[in-house]
Amino acid sequence: MVHIWNDPSEVPADFGPTVVTFGNFDGVHRGHQQVLSQLIRTARLNHARAVAITFDPHPAQVHRPESAPELIMGLEDKLVALGELGLDAVLVMKYSLELASLTPEEFVASVLVDSLKVSHVVIGHDARFGRGNSGDLSTMQELGEKFGFTVQVISEFGSEGFPIHDDGGKDRRCSSTWVREALRDGDVSTAAAVLGRSHRMRGQVVHGAARGRALGFPTANLASDASGYIPADGIYAGWLVDQAGTRWPAAISVGSNPTFDGVSRQVEAHVIDRPEEPVENFDLYDQTVVVEFVARLRGMVAYRGPEALVDQMRLDVVQAHDILFRR
């Protein structure tokens, strides 16, 4: 079981020695996974505990909220993804101007050395930390010599042996920016390749306008505060994971229902293939569910009336079924 701490003071005094890395880890993509896998291997070889430090909120939301990136995943899903990798613990540090004011040495001494009893630090070659991002790799190596820990440098997953290319056909390093770009374009397949799993959103199912139910396609509508990056408008094949953990195939709509002159964007999942019970009786209201995006079927279109929309929705369901069950 992975330990989750929300402050360095919660770390047990006898938990160390530890091997530590730190970062935002938004998306916990394959680049992050490579760093964390090396972290875990180093910890096992040195009979130490593997610990990742992450920050909440994202530092950009504190320093430049007007231009902060939309997060790929919420904190809960990030902790789930980190825990699945085999870490011994995750320290979630509340990011604030006070934390940002710590010098590199103050951060390392108080958190890594005093609280975590660090023996090894695993970081990328371009890591920055401390007040004004003044700390870098050479800073960490100097601090390692001073405090008695070693520093292991690792490159993020990308051009070296990773068969994913950008639109120009060139190798590209895995990054949260790449994932956001893909999701903004509705390219959930590329996002999944960079993430190492399907992109997901998490939220409570709320009552909507009930148009889908009236048309014979009832949907689970995610609340407006659902976590996770909302992909481009369109129709997707994917999965809905209910509160009990059951995965249901689904056709997912993202958009504002232009056929009915909708305004606000909504994420709605229509569960398909429930032969044991009419889907109309499938009640998910008030449950917290996860919606996973597997493939984009089409863009959002305004149809000439409900009949044309229903015909298209039937085709969407068939196509979503074919995609999900041929995999």
Reported as a single tens digit per residue, the pLDDT across 271-281 is: 997 655 555 56
Percent over 70 (pLDDT), the chain: 87
Tell whether the model's pLDDT for residue 307 goes beyond 50: yes
Residue 260: the pLDDT is 47
pLDDT in tens, 241-262: 999 999 999 999 999 765 445 5
Out of 17-31, 96-110, 299-313, which region has the weakest mean confidence (pLDDT)?
Answer: 299-313
The one-character DSSP state at 135 is B
Give per-residue pLDDT as tens, 207-245: 876 555 555 678 899 999 999 999 999 999 999 999 999
Non-local (6+) Cβ contacts of 50 within 8 A are: 18, 19, 36, 39, 40, 42, 43, 44, 86, 87, 88, 89
The pair of three-digit structure tokens given for residue 266, joined into one six-digit string: 């909504």
* Beta bridge mates, 227: 202
- pLDDT value at 263 more than 70: no
CA 226 to chain centre: 13
Question: Which tops the pLDDT comparison, 209 or 2?
Answer: 2
Residue 187 in tokens: 């390219």
Extract the tokens encoding 192.
Answer: 């999944």
Residue 172 token pair = 């590209």
Distance of CA 91 to the CA centre of its chain: 17
How much is the pLDDT for 276?
A: 58
In this predicted structure, which of 7-16, 41-50, 80-89, 162-171 has the lowest mean pLDDT? 162-171
User: Average pLDDT, stretch 36-45?
Assistant: 96
Distance of CA 112 to the CA centre of its chain: 25
C-beta separation of 110 from 147 below 8 A: no
- 248 vs 273: CA distance, rounded Å: 8
The two beta strands, 199-206 and 89-94, are unpaired
- Look at residue 262 in the predicted model and tell me its pLDDT: 53
Task: Give the C-alpha separation, 122 to 23, whole Å.
Answer: 11
